Amino acid sequence: MSAPAGRARLATALLLGVTAVWGSTFFLIRDLVESVPPADFLAVRFGIAAVVMFLLFRRQTLALSRRELRVGVVLGVLYGLAQVLQTMGLQHTDASVSGFITGTYVVLTPVLAAVVLRDHVAPVTWGAVALATAGIALLSLQGLAVGLGEALTLVAAVLYAGHIVALGRWSTPRAAVGLATVQAGVITVVTSVAAVPDGLTLPSDGGQWASLLYMALAAGALALWAQTWAQAHLTATRAAIVMAMEPVFAAFFAVVLGGEDLTRRMLVGGALVVAAMYLVELRSTSRDPTATAAEDPPVEALHHDV
């Protein structure tokens, strides 16, 4: 296995780990936002992540060029707005519907890459996208009534897709930790603006603080860095399909830790998402920054960000 191919495999494994961490937070978030307003939760979560990341990666962050700083700000705004809109939408729709609509970034990512960046998306990849979407629907969709919550969540999905595409175009392994740190700071600013009108409510007991710290450090700081580095070695569409495993892990943790029953829909839906990821892995290679029009360019991945 060549070095670039090996890095691509490592990036896929790392991104898969990120989705597992994200999936483990669903039932924690549902419990926490019952006493802490969603915007306040997001502001505190990413605020902690930003402070910790800057303390650890101060040198790498200050070494970023002005262009890289601008890229980090744009990426942070996209992700921060998506987080706020998704959380607002969750207040007006069922969690299962929210999960499905958010998961449509799997479809929206290659669409944006093809329309905005003129990237070529191979037919087999569109097949993987269809499989992943069907799997997410089986995992999370119990009925769909279009209203305010659904509309807000769909906009969030578009922003998530834009974030993934932008990462695929502009991030680099060298700048990954600095870019992730800048994004964490910008996300904190965006979510704080949403939290300001009603004041800032903090967790009330040790259990809530433990959940929040886990989501700030593992699902926040570590996940931002890992996604940034991983996407430096993967195409945007391939990354989106790997990230479609999030609802699979969410269902797994809901059964193992949340006491939910294992259903046939979970098994079939999870199998479809895994099949989609396996399909795209079979034909994927490392990304070449000089061939941005190719969906899965040859080797020498050099440019990405979270």
Phi, psi dihedrals of residue 120, rounded to the nearest 5°: -90, 125
In terms of residue numbers, what domain contains 58? 3-196+213-283
Distance in angstroms between the alpha carbons of the first and the last residue of the chain: 26
Residue 292 is assigned to a structural domain of this protein: no
Residue 298 has, within 13 A of its CA and on its CB side, a CA count of 3
Do the domain assignments include residue 96? yes
Look up the pTM and report it.
Answer: 0.80
User: What is the tens place of the pLDDT at every residue in 209-268?
Assistant: 999 999 999 999 999 999 999 988 888 888 888 888 887 887 788 777 767 777 787 788
How far is it, in rounded angstroms, from Cα 56 to Cα 61? 10
Residue 297 lies in a domain: no
Q: Does the residue 173 lie in any domain?
A: yes
Q: Map residue 280 onto helix, strand or coil.
A: helix
Please check whether residue 170 lies inside any domain of the structure: yes
- The pLDDT tens digits of the residues spanning 75-131 come to 999 999 998 898 788 777 766 667 777 888 888 888 888 887 777 777 887 888 888
pLDDT in tens, 137-146: 887 666 655 6
Give DSSP secondary structure letters for 25-38.
Answer: THHHHHHHTTTS-H
Average pLDDT over residues 159-164: 94
How far, in Å, CA of 176 to CA of 227, rounded? 9
In a domain, 298, yes or no: no
Burial class (CB in 10 A: 0-12, 13-18, 19+), 95: middle
Does 80 map to a domain?
yes
**Does residue 304 lie in a domain region?**
no
Instruction: Measure the CA–CA gap between 53 and 219, rounded to whole angstroms.
Output: 13
CB of 20 closer than 8 Å to CB of 147: no
DSSP state of 288: -
Q: State the total domains in the chain.
A: 1
Amino acid at position 177, single letter: V
